[in-house]
């Protein structure tokens, strides 16, 4: 005979301190295995229409709770939307490993805080951010921040886009190339079946390329020699692209993460084992069990350089919030709260989401040092004499344009996701689609034409996710390397749907 579970459902309380009336604050809950009392899946509801501003969550997998002002939003809302919105993420299965978090991996739009409580209103954990105006102001001060800011008709800020959705931020090419001639060591663990460790070393070339040589334990989990192209590393630092869920992907992930967070060439040296505070060494090998959790970004640098030496957007988010600023944020600091409920052995009965006012003295649990940008430049030299006019008929390089779709239909494993217009032979084109840091689609090809269509091929993980959920929201990154020209990169969110 089957008996019902004795696990109490999670109470999700929404506390409105935004300054907007509850009739102007909208809540949209989205997720798989949707068992939420008080809300329908992906249907916006005014906060004033939710009794006691509380939802009961029995089950919600890969869930999002969108908060928006003035109008409701749905999953896949575009980042140029005139509606101001942001969201929290949570999974309730229920399981002792369930967590909730806030995220700015795509954008920062509204300051919020998450608190968990046990019985009798016993406070357990907190993650949160400073007030929106504080974070917005800081992001305006970094290169690319102002150009990545979306405003309404009154010039008020709606959101600041991350490097995943804005090409305005400077790449980290000078930082990557500054490692020329320096040897590095990576000691990486892959938590798969079987658990595997690795140790690889290599020396950076002038263009930022590196050949890593080493071994894995057990052996054969990755090639003995791994070549990483400098241009590819520079293009992928922000996105974490090209990191499949295997040993080789984990090594490349650590290589990129150490550039994003400012570790390479910094105060901890160039052995990645020193990037964590709790390294483990056994007969199996050596590794960082909780990622690169030493103080990162400005705290990882000895001094400012003439060029940025970290991902500055993520550094600002790290300074002013306990929020994911990039996929590696959970290593540098705590950015989640546990949702271990009584039925799974824990104490969490309530998750409280507080919408913060735009101004005030809110602050994160743990701050950080964002000073990893470029040092102030020296005074410019006197202007040179005007150059002579270009000769008639001199060649000009055609402008490259992207057209990336907001949504696309998948037939079999393929989806047409846009087009690129190069004005000449496009050359090497690479597409990667990621969800939750995992690659769900990819394709690389050489385009001899000047206007190729962009077709993405879903991975096995992507096909399973699409079949399970009926839709797949992903981050699409497209990189084009025209002959004799630097890489051009565009990023945007895309909603993949099955072919009707």
223-253 pLDDT, tens per residue? 999 999 999 999 899 888 888 999 999 999 9
Contact 210, 204 (CB under 8 A): yes
Q: Per the omega criterion (within 30 degrees of 0), is the bond before 398 cis?
A: no
Task: Give the pLDDT score at 332.
Answer: 73
Q: Who has greater pLDDT, 326 or 227?
A: 227
- If one counts the domains in the chain, the total is 3
Residue 33 has pLDDT above 60, yes or no: yes
pLDDT digits (tens, 9 = 90+) for 377-422: 555 555 554 444 433 333 445 667 888 888 899 988 889 999 888 8
100 and 209, same domain (yes or no): no
343 in the same domain as 303: no
HSE-up of residue 448 (Cα within 13 Å, Cβ side):
0
**Residue range 34-54, pLDDT digits in tens:** 999 999 999 999 999 999 999
420 inside domain: yes
| DSSP label at residue 234 | H
| pLDDT band for position 481 (cuts 50, 70, 90) | confident
Other C-beta atoms lying within 10 Å of the C-beta of residue 361: 7
Instruction: Please report the pLDDT score of residue 324 as a whole number.
Output: 92
CB 263 within 8 A of CB 237: no
Looking at 323, 355, 387, which one is the last position of a domain? Answer: 355
Cα 59 from Cα 37, distance rounded (Å): 10
Q: Which of 269, 287, 307 is the last residue of a domain?
A: 307
- Residue 495, burial from CB neighbour count under 10 angstroms (0-12, 13-18, 19+): middle
**181 pLDDT exceeds 60?**
yes
43 and 61 part of one domain: yes
Domain of 288?
173-307
**CATH classification of the domain holding 489:** 2.60.40.1930
Does residue 453 fall inside a structural domain? yes
Average pLDDT over every residue of 51-69: 97
Residues 319 and 344 in one domain: yes
Residues 97 and 208 in one domain: no
Within this chain, do residues 150 and 212 fall inside the same structural domain, yes or no? no
Q: Answer yes or no: do 318 and 303 share one domain.
A: no
Lowest-confidence range among 219-228, 252-261, 472-481?
A: 472-481
Structural contact between residues 314 and 297, judged by C-beta atoms closer than 8 angstroms: yes
Is position 363 within any domain? Answer: no
The residue among 244, 278, 307 that closes a domain is 307
Query: What are 23's two structure tokens?
Result: 């009739």
Confidence check: pLDDT of 5 > 70: no
486: confidence class by pLDDT, cuts 50, 70, 90: low
């Amino acid at each position: 005979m089957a008996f019902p579970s004795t696990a109490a459902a999670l109470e999700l309380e929404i506390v409105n301190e935004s300054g907007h009336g509850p009739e102007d604050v909208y809540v949209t809950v989205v997720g798989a295995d949707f068992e939420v009392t008080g809300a329908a899946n992906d249907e916006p509801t005014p906060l004033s229409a939710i009794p006691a501003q509380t939802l009961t969550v029995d089950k919600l997998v890969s869930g999002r709770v969108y908060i928006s002002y003035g109008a409701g939003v749905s999953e896949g809302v575009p980042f140029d939307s005139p509606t101001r919105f942001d969201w929290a993420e949570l999974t309730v299965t229920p399981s002792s490993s369930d967590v909730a978090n806030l995220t700015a991996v795509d954008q920062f739009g509204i300051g919020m805080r998450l608190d968990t409580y046990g019985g009798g209103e016993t406070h357990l954990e907190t993650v949160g951010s400073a007030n929106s105006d504080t974070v917005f102001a800081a992001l305006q001060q970094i290169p690319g921040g102002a150009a990545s800011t979306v405003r309404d008709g009154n010039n008020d800020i709606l959101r600041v886009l991350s490097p995943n959705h804005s090409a305005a931020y400077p790449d980290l090419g000078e930082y990557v190339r500054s490692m020329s001639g320096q040897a590095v060591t990576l000691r990486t663990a892959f938590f798969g079946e079987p658990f595997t460790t690795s140790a690889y070393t290599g020396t950076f070339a002038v263009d930022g390329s590196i050949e890593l040589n080493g071994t894995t334990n057990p052996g054969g989990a990755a090639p003995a020699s791994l070549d990483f192209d400098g241009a590819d590393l520079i293009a992928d630092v922000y996105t974490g692209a090209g990191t499949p869920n295997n040993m080789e992907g984990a090594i490349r992930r650590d290589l990129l993460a150490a550039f994003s967070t400012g570790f390479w060439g910094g105060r901890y040296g160039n052995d990645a084992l020193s990037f964590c505070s709790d390294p483990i060494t056994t007969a199996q090998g050596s590794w960082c069990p909780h990622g690169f959790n030493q103080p990162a970004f400005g705290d990882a640098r000895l001094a400012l350089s003439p060029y940025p030496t970290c991902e500055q957007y993520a550094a600002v988010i790290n300074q002013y919030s306990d929020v994911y600023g990039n996929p590696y944020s959970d290593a540098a600091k705590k950015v989640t709260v546990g949702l271990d409920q009584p039925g799974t052995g824990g104490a969490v009965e309530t998750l409280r989401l507080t919408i913060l006012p735009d101004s005030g003295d809110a602050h994160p649990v743990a701050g950080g040092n964002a000073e990893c940008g470029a040092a102030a430049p020296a005074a410019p030299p006197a202007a040179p004499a005007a150059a002579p006019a270009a000769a008639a008929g001199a060649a000009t390089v055609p402008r490259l344009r992207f057209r990336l779709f907001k949504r696309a239909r998948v037939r079999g494993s393929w989806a047409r996701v846009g087009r690129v217009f190069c004005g000449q032979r496009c050359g090497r084109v690479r597409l990667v689609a990621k969800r939750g840091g995992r690659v769900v689609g990819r394709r690389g090809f050489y385009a001899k034409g000047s206007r190729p269509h962009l077709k993405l091929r879903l991975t096995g993980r992507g096909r399973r996710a699409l079949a399970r959920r009926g839709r797949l929201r992903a981050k699409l990154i497209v990189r084009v390397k025209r002959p004799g020209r630097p890489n051009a990169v565009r990023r945007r969110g895309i909603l993949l749907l099955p072919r009707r």
